[in-house]
Amino acid sequence: MKIRVLGAGFAGVRAALDLDRLLGRQGVDISIINKDPYHELTTEIYRPAAGRDVRVLAVPLEDIFAGTSVAVVQGTVTDIRLRERQVVLDRQRILKFDRLVVALGSEPEYFSIPGLRENSLTLKSLNSAENIRRHIDAMLSQAAALANPADRQPFATVIIAGAGLTGVELAGELADQRPVLARRHGLVPEEIRIITVEAAPDILPGFDDALIEAATDMLMRKGVSLILGTPLRAVEPGAVVLEDGTRIAARTIIWSGGVRANRLIEKCFTTRNRGRAVVNEYLQSVDDPTVYIIGDAALAINTRTGQPVAPTAQHAVQQGRLAARNIWAELKGRPLRAYRARTIGVLATVGHDVGLAHIGPIKLFGRFPVVVKDLNTWRYILSLGGTRLLLKVLWRNGRLRWARA
Ligand code: NAD
């Protein structure tokens, strides 16, 4: 019995650990396949993207799976052949499977906006965070070399298009880093302009009104300019064009306007809603019940609301747990369990010092959510490998820095 887990994000890592716990000592061959040799804490990457030093950004897979029966395979999944029961890595290597857990995550959705893909940066991985940091540094250094303030401005302007949680967390963090960046490049902090463009009338559409107001106020106090109710219409090299025809010159354009499932998913499975795989209540693919699809790549439905669950880490972890449990149940002839989505809440920061939390009926804005978010990261690492892993990560300082840079 060969069980392959594709992707070592929040969903895949949880699934592989639980498969090991349930089936590891029973002669089942479990492996996890990932393009990088580490598990990225993508909930943290907006901080280094803005230039902040962060304690733990990634955890080596060999540390997570040390002492388990899970084999770690490094490679990029380039095809899934359901009929042949094969996974293809890097277009050449073939792995057979009996059960498959697909946890290949998401990527930016560009909505066919002209020039957007070619002329923008996105924040989806550690490497992309490093690209943003380096790019901003390079542009500010060019700005500093120009004598005329009008010539400097486009180089010192950062546009963040899309003010969902990704855009807001990044804008807040970048605003706080402004004095550091300005000092490094010999600029005045106010010269570095951060402009957030949002299509909806408010930032964080769909959130609680009081939290939206507090986050809006905080971004403005930190010096972020907000252009609301104005979609981005096109992007050119060095400028964005808004729906109302306004053109803003900027050498750094970051797209945080939404995500879609990994493109490989729509090549291999029935999909809906931005390429997410249609799954049944047990998280099995509707195309093949021996394949479980979880995390951002899956269109898991919240049975209470009838709506797709949001592509977030907390749902990914829940789905990883359930997929492992259902594979165990299948192999033991036990009944499968249906997915019951639990949304514990939202925790996000607006810069170093303030954040928002909406957990059940509790709504908070201020310092406390930042502390809770940081504690949550440590709690998560503990959940992967207990104090042994936590100490190892702290020992190495967790700075798996841009492995491919
Ligand atoms: P999102 O889809 O949640 O937000 C995208 C934003 O971009 C929306 O506000 C949308 O109105 C805006 N937008 C879309 N098209 C636009 C256009 N043409 N011009 C301007 N604005 C446009 O995407 P996200 O923020 O990347 O989040 C993705 C998922 O990850 C969500 O489920 C989110 O909850 C989750 N997430 C969670 C956290 C956290 O819990 N702290 C942090 C980041 C992301």
Q: Is the pLDDT of residue 400 over 90?
A: no
For residue 184, which of 134, 121, 238 has the smallest C-alpha distance?
A: 134
Question: Burial of 54 by CB count in 10 Å (0-12 exposed, 13-18 middle, 19+ buried)?
Answer: middle
Nearest CA to ligand 1 atom 41: 348
pLDDT score, position 56: 84
Q: Is the pLDDT of residue 276 over 80?
A: yes
Residue pLDDT, tens place only, 92-126? 999 999 999 999 999 999 999 999 999 999 999 99
Let me know: does 243 contact 230? Beta carbons within 8 Å.
Answer: yes
| Owning domain of residue 140 | 116-257
**Helix, strand, or coil here: 3?**
strand
Question: Burial of 404 by CB count in 10 Å (0-12 exposed, 13-18 middle, 19+ buried)?
Answer: exposed
Let me know: does 57 contact 46? Beta carbons within 8 Å.
Answer: no
**Helix, strand, or coil here: 197?**
strand
Domain assignment of residue 20, yes or no: yes
Whether residues 101 and 203 share a domain: the answer is no
Whether residues 137 and 205 share a domain: the answer is yes
| Residue 357, CA atoms < 13 Å, CB-side half-sphere | 17
Whether residues 246 and 127 share a domain: the answer is yes
Q: Is the pLDDT of residue 395 over 90?
A: no
**Cα–chain center distance at 391:** 25
End-of-domain residue from the set 316, 343, 370: 343
**Cα-to-centroid distance, 198 and ligand 1 (Å):** 10
pLDDT score, position 397: 60
Domain assignment of residue 386, yes or no: no
**Cα-to-centroid distance, 164 and ligand 1 (Å):** 3
| Torsion sign across C-alpha atoms 196, 197, 201, 204 | negative
Domain assignment of residue 101, yes or no: yes
End-of-domain residue from the set 324, 343, 362: 343
Question: Per the structure block, which two tokens stand in for 89?
Answer: 């890595």
**Cα-to-centroid distance, 171 and ligand 1 (Å):** 13
Running DSSP on this structure, what letter comes out for residue 201? S
Nearest atom in ligand 1 to the alpha carbon of residue 167 is 25
Whether residues 224 and 285 share a domain: the answer is no
Domain assignment of residue 383, yes or no: no
Nearest atom in ligand 1 to the alpha carbon of residue 311 is 32
Nearest CA to ligand 1 atom 30: 312
Domain assignment of residue 389, yes or no: no
Residue 176's pLDDT band, with cuts at 50, 70 and 90, is very high
Residue 74, amino acid: Q
Please name the residue that has the structure tokens 């010159």. Answer: 249
| Residue 178, number of CB atoms within 10 A of its CB | 23
Nearest atom in ligand 1 to the alpha carbon of residue 168 is 25
**Cα-to-centroid distance, 12 and ligand 1 (Å):** 22
Whether residues 229 and 127 share a domain: the answer is yes
End-of-domain residue from the set 305, 320, 343: 343
Whether residues 250 and 122 share a domain: the answer is yes
With a Cβ cut-off of 6 Å, ligand 1 is lined by 113, 161-167, 169, 197-200, 205, 231-232, 256-259, 310-312, 346-348
Nearest CA to ligand 1 atom 17: 231
Whether residues 11 and 142 share a domain: the answer is no
Domain assignment of residue 61, yes or no: yes
Mean pLDDT taken over the chain: 95
Whether residues 183 and 90 share a domain: the answer is no
pTM (2 decimals)? 0.95
Of all residues in the chain, what percent carry a pLDDT higher than 90? 93
**Cα-to-centroid distance, 223 and ligand 1 (Å):** 21
- Name the residue of 111, 116, 173, 198 to mutate for ligand 1: max ligand atoms within 8 A of Cβ: 198
Q: Is the pLDDT of residue 76 over 90?
A: yes
For residue 158, which of 197, 117, 198 has the smallest C-alpha distance?
A: 197
Cα–Cα distances in angstroms (integers) from residue 330 to residues 23, 74, 334, 339, in the given order: 12, 28, 6, 15
Which CATH number covers residue 146?
Answer: 3.50.50.60
Residue spans of alpha helices (H) in 223-297: 263-268
Domain assignment of residue 10, yes or no: yes
Residue pLDDT, tens place only, 60-74? 999 999 999 999 999
| Torsion sign across C-alpha atoms 269, 272, 277, 281 | negative
Whether residues 208 and 156 share a domain: the answer is yes
Which CATH number covers residue 101?
Answer: 3.50.50.100
pLDDT score, position 402: 42
Whether residues 229 and 310 share a domain: the answer is no
Give how many domains the chain has, as a whole number.
Answer: 2
**Helix, strand, or coil here: 297?**
helix
Domain assignment of residue 359, yes or no: no
Cα–Cα distances in angstroms (integers) from residue 199 to residues 170, 193, 221, 223, 228, in the given order: 17, 20, 21, 20, 6
Nearest CA to ligand 1 atom 12: 162
C-alpha to C-alpha distance for 328 and 30, rounded to whole angstroms: 12
Type and span of the H or E element at 178: helix 165-185
Mean pLDDT of 266-272: 97
Whether residues 308 and 244 share a domain: the answer is no
Residue pLDDT, tens place only, 329-378? 999 999 999 999 999 899 999 999 999 999 999 999 999 999 999 999 99
Residue pLDDT, tens place only, 208-258? 999 999 999 999 999 999 999 999 999 999 999 999 999 999 999 999 999
Whether residues 169 and 282 share a domain: the answer is no
**Cα-to-centroid distance, 106 and ligand 1 (Å):** 13
